[in-house]
Each structure stands twice: as C-alpha cells, then as structure tokens.
Structure 1
Amino acid sequence: MRATREYHSLDQARQAVAGRLDSARVPGLFDRFDWFSSLHHHCFPDMPVRILHGQEDGREGWLFLLSPAPRRASAIANWYSFRWAPVFLGAPDAAVQQKLTEAMARQLLKSHAQIDLYPLEETGPLVSVLRQAGWFTVQRPMGGRYLLDVNGRSFADYWAERPGKLRNLVRRKGRNSPYTLSIESRLTDALWRDYIDVHSRSWKQAEPDAGLDFLRDLAERESAAGTLRLGFARIDGQAVATQYWTVEHGVALIHKLSHDSAHDGGSPGTLLSHRMFEQAIDQDRVSRIDYGTGDNGYKRDWMERRIALHRIDAFNPRYLSSWLPAARTAISALVG
C-alpha cells in the first residue's frame, strides 16, 4: 500500500482530489469535497483540518476531519450533515475498505490522543478497524433519521397509507385555503430573501449568519445543477412557509423547513409538505425521501422507517491524558 498522506489544509486536499470527489463521480451529497469544503469555510473557519488519504491499486479512502483542539480530531460535520463516513473511490470491496481505513487510523495514532465521529449510520466495521489500529473505542446511539422508501408507489398510493389524522388535516386546511403553493428549482436573490424572512418569523431559533451563508452556498450549487427544490406557501404574495429540499440520483433530502408561527392555524407548512412530497414522488420519481437528523414527532406521520445514528469516541492509550476521558465516556455509554 502506498503511504497514507495527511493534509492540513483544504487547498492541499483539493489539489490531491483533483475533481474526483465531485457530483459527477460521487452520488452522495455528504461524500463530496465541496460539501466538506463549504461546511468548513462557513461553519468552522478558524478550526484546522486533518484530511487523511489512503490509496492502493487505484482505490482510495478519505477521512475528512477537523482538529478542534491539540491532538484531537472530529468529523467535519454538524447539524446540516445527515451522515458522516469515510469516503471511498475506485469501488473497493469491504476488505480493501477496511485496509485503507486501518492505514489512515494508524496514521492518526501517531499524533492524536482522541477522535470523535458523528453522525454515523453504521459503526461495526469502523469500530473494528479503529481497535485493530490500536484505538480504544466507545460507541453509542445518538438520535436517528426518518426515511421513506417509495418502492414504486404513486403519491396517491403513498398518501392513502398516511395516518388518518394527517390526511384529514390536509383535507380540512386545503379546502378554500388562502395559500398559494410553489416549488422553485432555480435560486434568485428574491427567493432567498423570502426564505430568510420566513425563517426569521418561525418558531425556530434564528439561524446564525454562518449557517445561512452555508445554506445559500449549497442552494447556489444545487440550483446550478437543477437539483434544488425550494418550496413556498404564500398569502397575498408574502411567503409564510418554506421548505428547502434537494433531489438527485433518486433521493430527496429535506434540509430545512420553516413557517411563520402567526399562521399556525392555517397549517401552511403541512400543506406545503403535501405538495413537496407529491412532486418528489410523482414528478421527480424519487425512490427515497430522507428527513434528516432529529426525532421530531411530526416526521413519523410522513415517513415509514427510522434508522439509528451513532457516535464513536476513540482514545489513544499511548497518551495518559486520554485515559480519564476514555473511562468517563465508557461509563456514560453504559448508563445511557
């Protein structure tokens, strides 16, 4: 195996990647270089990166990590990330993936005392690899994601299987509704102003400027690619509910949704969801809809499957400073 390389800047890593982690070659949004680069630029601008690269016979593995403190590494991820995982190129099989990841984990062992990785869909292989490389690891469940596998259904078939309470709500609120619904695939400055305006009047905590800049950057890229789905409910021309989706490779991702709490009685957000799901299923012909991280109760009415997300904390036993945090983390995992 070629020696594992470590990059301490995104510019260095970008040159090494040479476009191999773009949307044309990587179907998953959360595995692309632009995703990690934009997230770091807007949300972690002052935090160093640690990017690991292993290679064997044209097959590659990448770990995109931050360094929030000396001798510590964390996944480049936050609440916008539906998942984090090692990224592989060249279609390596499970054995080669394990070999590449173990080489990168051993490289980290030379200079790091602690690693934390979240959100992970699957932990078994990664835990095994980290332990083989010499790390003491603790894994624990931490939240989940709600998914809908369409399985070839039409929207009418899907909707007929929703809870009666939800269907009745849409029927009642949709009757003589004052709201005009629209879904845009091309971003404009006016649409983005409407999006920000709705969010500022929603029940949610105000989005930090860095987060809005990140979301705008993502929306611009997805708009250029034709994969953006920005939905609005309006009354007398004023936006009162909005939803931010992307749709590609048969998967719809629901990134953000907001509504003006002054319009709770009219349920514009629910009516807009009905329209967004209908378009995703019947027009975009998606095979899956992903509601992102979080166990919000309303998601269960729209989705049919929950997957658990996990966190891995790994500690380097060569550093005495990691022993006490390792013990505390292990105890915390045991008591839940």
Structure 2
Amino acid sequence: MNLQLILGNFALILFVLMVVTGVIWFFDVFYLAKQRRAAADRALAEYDARNAKLTADGIKVDNTGNRAQLEAGILRQPTWIEYSGSFFPVIALVFFLRSFLYEPFKIPSSSMVPTLLVGDLILVNKFTYGIRLPVINQKIVQINDPQRGDVMVFKYPLDMSQDYIKRVIGVPGDKITYENKRLTVNGVEVKYAPLDDYLDDEKLVYNKQYQENLTGVSHRILNNEAAPTYTREAVRPFPYSENCTYRYEGFTCVVPAGNYFMMGDNRDNSADSRYWGFVPDKNIVGKAIVVWMNLGNLRRIGSIH
C-alpha cells in the first residue's frame, strides 16, 4: 500500500522551513536586535538633548508618550522578521515531534483491510525501532527490533520516495512458506479461525475473513477464493531473490539478515514481499500504533490490532 503523507514530502519541507526561519531568528536576536537597540539609544539621546535645549531656552515641551513611541517604533521588528520569529519555534517543535516521536499518515488504498481502511489517519511511532536522523532516515540509536505481527511503515524498496505499510510476517532467519493461502513460519503452520464474510464496500463483493494467529499475534485477514495464491508473472527481480523458491501452489523464502518479509492483511489485494522482495532495516520508518481519525467513520478511532 502506498501511504501518502499529509502534505507531500513533509519532512524535507519542514526541515527547509526550520532552517530558513531559524537562521532569520538567530540573525535577528544576535545582530539585528542589537542594531535596533543601538539606533534607538542614539535617537533617544538626541531626543533628550533636543528637549533639554528647548527647556533651557524657556520653551515648554510636552513629550508625554512621545519618547516611548519613538523607542517602540525603532525597536519594532520588520514584518518578515516578526513572522519568521513567530513561526520558528512552532516549526522546530513539529519537526522534532514528527522526526523522532510520532508521524501522521493517511491510508489511501485497501491492502491492509480489514485492519486499516481507506481514509484512516494513523499515527506511527518513530522511536520504537530506534532513533533515526530525519530526512536521510539513518539510524543512530538501536532500541527494539520489529516483531512478527507488527504493522510497520517503511520506505518502498523499489522507490525510496514512497512510504508503504504492511504487516511483519518474517524476521531475519525465518523460513516463510505461503501455500494455498496459508502461512507456515519455521515449519509451524499458522492457525486460522473462520469469521463472517467481509463485505468490500468498494467492489460490493464478499471476501472470506479469518482470524490469523501469527506466532501469538492475532489479527484479521481477507482471502478472495477466486484469486491465486500469488501471480508468478508479477514477481520482480529483488535482492536475495535466491532465498526464495516459487512453486505453483505458493513459495518459500528464508529472510536474510537485516531484512523483513512483509504482507498485507488483504492478502489477494496487496503488492508486498511476495512480489518485490524483502525490506531492509534501513528502510524502516516506524510502527503504526493508532487510528487517530477517519472523517468518514469516527468509530474507526482507536488502537491498531
């Protein structure tokens, strides 16, 4: 599933805005403000000297408020500096929060149905899997590793400008087999419990729905009985493709070190590791934790299961 950020490449936009407004703010605080203060002091000194001379010549001077107005006028920031100074702390705070703590995404397609629906606005924990430098996504502090069953956002291996979301099916060293639409992890068959059929609101068709227990993590998945387990012609060349063996009934892949095998919960409507391979650790963005808004369905608000 291709995730779309709330506003394009927001991380880069925020970074540029933060740098520009920050430079202006620091330049004003440490240079321009001092220049204005010096100019105000000179003007006030001239003002006081002129009034003192007039008083000495016997001319009554009424300067009520004039001195303060003169000082305020000189010290007033230019509009462009005033706005930059106001925006800088806000932009810096937002940049820090979304770069190191939490980042919002919007779900535009149905590859993670029924867990995530089109229009869900989700929040992604950016520090669960380690602290990374913003924009370049370079990990600098290791914290936790992704676990089977996690719903994870990552950079699409075939186009790093795109963010994808899938469920972690295999971690490094796992042997994943998917045959006849059933998973086996390290030789242990994943358990499935049938649920009521799921109505696809877009296509107005029913899909088979199951409760999948992926090594202790329970979640719902969908299967279209008319669709094949995978489409061999859609498989693209990818790194470590020699770790996978494809057959008519399905395939087996051994997850290489530092990589993860990802699949969508809407199994027959998901372009995932079956087709474009493994997700390297360097591509990880974070763990999806909550649906914080869906304008078309407020009942969607809550944690991701």
TM-score, length basis structure 2: 0.24
Give the number of the structure whose residues are more often helix, by fraction: 1
TM-score, length basis structure 1: 0.22
Q: Which has the larger radius of gyration?
A: 2
